[in-house]
Amino acid sequence: MSPSLAEIAAGLQGYDPQALPAGMVGEFLARLTQPVAETEAVPLREALGRVLARDLISPLSVPPHDNSAMDGYAFHGEALVAGSPLQLQVVGTALAGRAWQGTVAPGQCVKIMTGAIMPAGLDTVVPQEFTRGAGDDRIEIPAGVVARGDNRRLAGEDLMQGRPALPAGERLGPAACGLVASLGIPQVEVRRRLRVAYFSTGDEILSLGEPPREGAVYDSNRYTVHGMLTRLGCEVVDLGVVRDDPALLEAAFLRAAGEADAIVTSGGVSVGEADFTKAMMRQLGDVAFWKIAMRPGRPMAVGRIATGGRQAVLFGLPGNPVAVMVTFLAFVRPALLRMMGARPEPEVWLRARSAEPMRKKPGRTEYQRGVVRRAADGGLEVRTTGNQGSGVLSSMVQANGLIVLHHDQGHVAVGDEVDVMMFEGPL
Instruction: Give whichever of 320 and 327 is closer to ligand AMP, judged by the CB atom.
Output: 320
Nearest approach in angstroms of CB 184 to ligand AMP is 48
The verdict on 220 binding ligand AMP (CB under 6 A) reads yes
3-state SS, residue 55:
coil
Residue list 368-397, contact with ligand AMP (CB under 6 A): 391
Binds Mg ion by CB under 5 A, chosen from 21, 49, 156, 202: 202
Report how far residue 276's alpha carbon sits from residue 244's, in angstroms, rounded to the nearest whole number: 6
Nearest approach in angstroms of CB 266 to ligand AMP is 5
Q: Which is it for strands 108-112 and 124-127: parallel, antiparallel or unpaired?
A: unpaired
The verdict on 318 binding ligand AMP (CB under 6 A) reads yes
Binds 35: which of ligand AMP, Mg ion, none (CB < 5-8 Å by kind): none
Binds ligand AMP by CB under 6 A, chosen from 33, 320, 327, 384: 320
Under a CB-based contact definition with an 8 Å cutoff, are residues 48 and 93 in contact? no
Binds 221: which of Mg ion, ligand AMP, none (CB < 5-8 Å by kind): ligand AMP
3-state SS, residue 30:
helix
Q: Find all residues with CB under 8 Å of 395, minimum gap 6, and list them.
A: 322, 369, 385, 386, 387, 388, 389
The verdict on 316 binding Mg ion (CB under 5 A) reads no
Instruction: Give whichever of 301 and 412 is closer to ligand AMP, judged by the CB atom.
Output: 301
What secondary structure, in 3-state letters, does 84-115 show?
Answer: CCEEEEEEEEEECCECCCCCCCCCEEEEECCC
Instruction: Give whichever of 219 and 261 is closer to ligand AMP, judged by the CB atom.
Output: 219
Report how far residue 264's alpha carbon sits from residue 333's, in angstroms, rounded to the nearest whole number: 11
For residue 52, the cross-strand partners are 190
3-state SS, residue 278:
helix
Nearest approach in angstroms of CB 46 to Mg ion is 40
Binds 108: which of ligand AMP, Mg ion, none (CB < 5-8 Å by kind): none
Instruction: Report the residue closest to ligand AMP, judged by CB.
Output: 319
For residue 75, the cross-strand partners are 124
Binds Mg ion by CB under 5 A, chosen from 72, 119, 169, 267: 267
Hey, CA dihedral for 16, 21, 24, 26, is it positive or negative?
Answer: positive
The verdict on 268 binding ligand AMP (CB under 6 A) reads yes
Sites of contact with ligand AMP (CB under 6 A): 200, 202, 204-205, 217, 219-221, 266-268, 270, 273, 318-321, 391
